[in-house]
Structure 1
Amino acid sequence: MSRTILVFYGSYRRDRQGIKLARWIVDSLAARGDRAELVDAMAVDLPMLDRRHSDFAAGEAPAAMDALADRIAAADGFVFVTGEYNGGLQPGLKNLVDHYLPQFAWRPAAIASYSAGPFAGIRAATAWRTTLGAMGMVVTATPLSLARIGSAFDADGGPAGEDGERLARAFPRFADDLAWWTDAAKAQREQAPPPF
């Protein structure tokens, strides 16, 4: 069964490293037969949150905000690729996500975290679990965590070194968990609308 999975990434830093992980996840999901699409907060370029998408009357939201709302609502599941900024959430990704709410509900989300050091963004992943759950998403139990991202990919974007090899070994279980929840949520949404 083919699934539409949006992979969200939110760093705005000049030398951002996490984009390598986000692109690798998109490619790896596509290799499994899913329709995976990257949503790069910097490319979407929404303003700092003033009005959510739902605060606008139909047809009055900025075009980029409207287009992303449609993509989110049509997706079957999500992956959030997040670095750790001072022990917490990336502001660019959080700002993007906060523009939406109902479009995310009743779908699963998986978290892939990373860091330049040895701790692999674990604190950011923990914070995202709370945020995504509060937005109505089921967060999968299998995280994907990557330490020392700067040396974890080769020039072609493939996993490299010990950390990259660990990532490649962990990915199938991460993707299988997301696939199971995506299929289950999709079947349930088709059987009965969400209760509220």
Structure 2
Amino acid sequence: MAAAAKKLKVIIFLGSTREGRLGERVSKFCKNYLEKTNHEVTVFDPIELDLPLLKKPLHFYKDLSEAPKKLKDCNDQIKAADAFLFVSCEYNHCIPPALANMVDHFPCSSFAWRPSGIVTYSPGIYGGVRCSTQLRALTGELGCISVSNMFGIPQVHTAIDENGKPLNDQMETGMKRLMSQLDWMAWAMKNQKEKHGIPM
């Protein structure tokens, strides 16, 4: 089967839990775009997952059968993904704590050897770009290095409606530019792993 006929599995990690958050509309836009372009999409929303403040990550359980089922199920989904998309605002110019807390429940090995993309947003003019530089470092350490093109969305409340519908042409253009890189890298890494495995 040709690669174009297959679907890449992508997990969207949503970063914000703040009251009145705008991230939901960004996540809906990204999910709609990905499904329209032949991707299988799962959204990890820290509000819906409701993971506790990190005390014991999955990989600290000597016997995984004792780990919470929610953690094991999420970890299986992360390991099965072909690529990741981090959708985040910035808190005090940094990565939102809920996003870091969610990711830190799982080992780096679950993320490794897959690419990631970064989408940031803000109601102001900067589009969350200060957070994106920190997300680059995080994705590098997780082993899911982000592609070079990042998509920043300034004045997000005027760019996407509550249902995820884009309100200007730049939304589709920016997402297409990001996903063209992410898809290429995801297929390249997927094919390489299937042919040669991963380094030990």
Tell me the TM-score normalized by structure 1.
0.94
Confirm or deny that 1:190 pairs with 2:197.
no
Q: In 1, are the aligned partners of 2:27 and 2:164 still within 8 Å (CA)?
A: no
Q: In 1, are the aligned partners of 2:122 and 2:153 still within 8 Å (CA)?
A: yes
After TM superposition, the structure 1 = structure 2 runs for residues 51-90 of structure 1, keeping only pairs within 5 Å, are 51-56=56-61, 57-90=63-96
Distance 1:49 1:122, change over 3 A: same
Q: In 1, are the aligned partners of 2:32 and 2:164 still within 8 Å (CA)?
A: no
Which 4+ stretches in 1 moved above 3 angstroms? none
Q: Which amino acid aligns with 1:159?
A: P
Aligned length: 193
Which structure carries more relative contact order (alpha carbon 8 Å, separation 6+)?
A: 2
Query: What RMSD, in angstroms, separates the aligned Cα atoms of the two structures?
Result: 1.2
After TM superposition, the structure 1 = structure 2 runs for residues 39-188 of structure 1, keeping only pairs within 5 Å, are 39-56=44-61, 57-100=63-106, 101-160=108-167, 164-188=168-192
Q: How far apart are the structure 2 equivalents of 1:55 and 1:194?
A: 24
Q: In 2, are the aligned partners of 1:27 and 1:36 still within 8 Å (CA)?
A: no
2:18 equivalent among 7, 13, 21: 13
**Per-residue Cα deviation, 1:33-54 (whole angstroms, up to 9, x for no partner):** 1101111111111111111111
**Per-residue Cα deviation, 1:89-139 (whole angstroms, up to 9, x for no partner):** 011011000111211011000000001100000010000000110111121
Q: How far apart are the structure 2 equivalents of 1:154 and 1:123?
A: 24
Q: How far apart are the structure 2 equivalents of 1:78 and 1:27?
A: 15
Q: Which amino acid aligns with 2:191?
A: A
Moved more, 116-125 or 137-146: 137-146
Q: What 5-or-longer segments of structure 2 have no aligned partner?
A: 1-5
Q: Which amino acid aligns with 2:116?
A: A
Q: Which residue of 1 aligns with 2:37?
A: 32
Q: Percent identity?
A: 31
Moved more, 147-156 or 183-192: 147-156
Q: Which amino acid aligns with 2:105?
A: H
Q: How far apart are the structure 1 equivalents of 2:56 and 2:47?
A: 18
Q: Which amino acid aligns with 2:83?
A: G
